Amino acid sequence: MDKGTDHLIVTESLAKDYFDGGAPVPAVRGIDLTIEAGEFTAIVGPSGSGKTTFLNLISGLDAPTGGKVWLKDKLLSGLSGNELSDFRRDHIGFIFQAYNLIPVLNVRENIEYIMLLQGVPEKERRERVGEILKEIGMAGFERRFPPKISGGQQQRVAIARAMVSRPELILADEPTANLDSGIGAELLDMMRDLNRRTGMTFLFSTHDPMVMDRADRVVTLHDGRVAKDDRRART
């Protein structure tokens, strides 16, 4: 059942209970939210409020126990395992808090990986990797392996990896939590800049007030529910 809307993401009574030794632990308790293409949205809230769970439901990494998610008009629960894999590959870029990169692949190969899965020809892959490395200020690092670059640099490569195949949506779960605040701010400015120029939609979770300040929209979760939904004028 697909939905004919213009929204990028629509959630309807989205809910997730974990089961911890038989007893249900409600992590997300009915979220109705729409995200428009091109938004730069922060999901905030105290620890345990359900931010990670919500993002995982949106990307199909986790299956909801109630409600529905449409992404690009596709009902995620209607997709099979491989369809879901391919859907993520083609439409979602991921940035996690840490361990974003495959240690046996160098910077170029990490960034190339998704395009490889997509069957993008070699020449085009090279060009795009070159471009994006310049964009994130890491030209010349192509052949370095992840353990040999700093945490901030790793996160930049992760951003490049997430964006290089031009997905509609970038999901980032606390992308700056492991970084010094200065580096985090830099990274965030870079993401917002990319958002403005490319029109890619960013949805990220954070504890970081600095991140919230840079968002167009801040959705606050509390106990698995939306407590507040602030839209701001773009600065």
- Which chain residues interact with ligand ATP by CB under 6 A? 18, 20, 25, 27, 45, 47-53
Q: Which 8-state DSSP code applies to residue 3?
A: -
From the list Mg ion, ligand ATP, other proteins, none, partner contacted by residue 1 (C-beta under 5 to 8 A by kind) = none
3-state secondary structure of 31: strand
Cross-sheet strand order for the sheet of 23-35 = 23-35, 9-20, 66-71, 74-75
Nearer to other proteins, 57 or 219 (CB): 57
From the list other proteins, ligand ATP, Mg ion, none, partner contacted by residue 88 (C-beta under 5 to 8 A by kind) = other proteins
φ, ψ (nearest 5 deg) of residue 160 = -60, -45
From the list Mg ion, ligand ATP, other proteins, none, partner contacted by residue 47 (C-beta under 5 to 8 A by kind) = ligand ATP
From the list Mg ion, ligand ATP, other proteins, none, partner contacted by residue 67 (C-beta under 5 to 8 A by kind) = none
Site string for other proteins, 32-71 (x = CB under 8 A): --------------------x---x--x-xx---------
Among 11, 41, 52, 155, binds Mg ion (CB under 5 A): 52
Spatial CA neighbour of 82 closest among 93, 90, 71: 90
Question: How far is the C-alpha of 202 from the C-alpha of 138, rounded, in Å?
Answer: 21
Among 25, 117, 210, 227, binds other proteins (CB under 8 A): 117
Q: CA of 26: how far to CAs of 17, 18, 54, 158, 183, in Å?
A: 4, 6, 12, 31, 35
From the list ligand ATP, other proteins, Mg ion, none, partner contacted by residue 64 (C-beta under 5 to 8 A by kind) = none
Is residue 69 a contact partner of residue 5, using CB atoms and an 8 Å limit? Answer: no
Site string for other proteins, 69-108 (x = CB under 8 A): ------------xx--xxxxxx-xxx-xxxxx-xxxx---
Is residue 229 a contact partner of residue 220, using CB atoms and an 8 Å limit? Answer: yes
Tokens describing residue 210 = 């600095």
Nearer to other proteins, 161 or 192 (CB): 161
From the list ligand ATP, other proteins, Mg ion, none, partner contacted by residue 82 (C-beta under 5 to 8 A by kind) = other proteins
Q: How far is the CB of 61 from ligand ATP (least distance, A)?
A: 12
User: Cα angle vertex 168, ends 165, 170, to 5°?
Assistant: 80
Q: CA of 132: how far to CAs of 50, 62, 225, in Å?
A: 32, 30, 37
Q: How far is the CB of 99 from ligand ATP (least distance, A)?
A: 15
Closest-CB residue for Mg ion? 52
